[in-house]
Amino acid sequence: MRRSGGHFHSVAAAWLLKVLAVAAASLALAACVVYEPASYQTASTYDRAWAAAIGAMQDQGVAINDQDRAAGVLRGTRGPTGVTAVVRTRPDGRVQVEFNTTGTSSDAGLVERIGESYNRRMGR
């Protein structure tokens, strides 16, 4: 019994087709490019908190008289009332901001309104 060459050709063609499919898949994957995310500078949390504290005090009519960014202290006045903001970086990396008033004040809600302005400016 003699076999025809057709069987050999179909096995060779199947093998060739598999090799070509693997090669095509490899080339397709090699053509994929992964780009690094674009780097850009954003304000640090401390910088944002500092700017928001200044803005919040100004929003409520406080005239800022002294700014010591290195110490994290802002001092201002609104009429007879002194207002102080202290911006600190905590050990866990979060930033803490405190607002206080001194002197006589007929505006008991000033610190709360400054805090609300600060939170709005920080997107909270």
Tens-digit pLDDT profile for residues 38-83: 555 556 799 999 999 999 999 999 999 999 999 999 999 998 999 9
Asked if 122 and 49 count as a contact pair (C-beta separation under 8 A), the reply is: yes
Residues 94 and 83: beta-carbon distance below 8 Å: no
Q: At what angle do helices 110-121 and 45-59 cross, to 10 degrees?
A: 140
* pTM reported for the whole predicted model: 0.65
pLDDT band at 98 (very low <50, low <70, confident <90, very high): very high
The pLDDT score that the predictor gives to residue 52 is 96
For residue 42, give both structure tokens.
Answer: 């954003």
- pLDDT value of position 5: 55
Amino acid at 18: K
Cα gap 53→34, rounded to integer Å: 40
Average pLDDT, the chain: 84
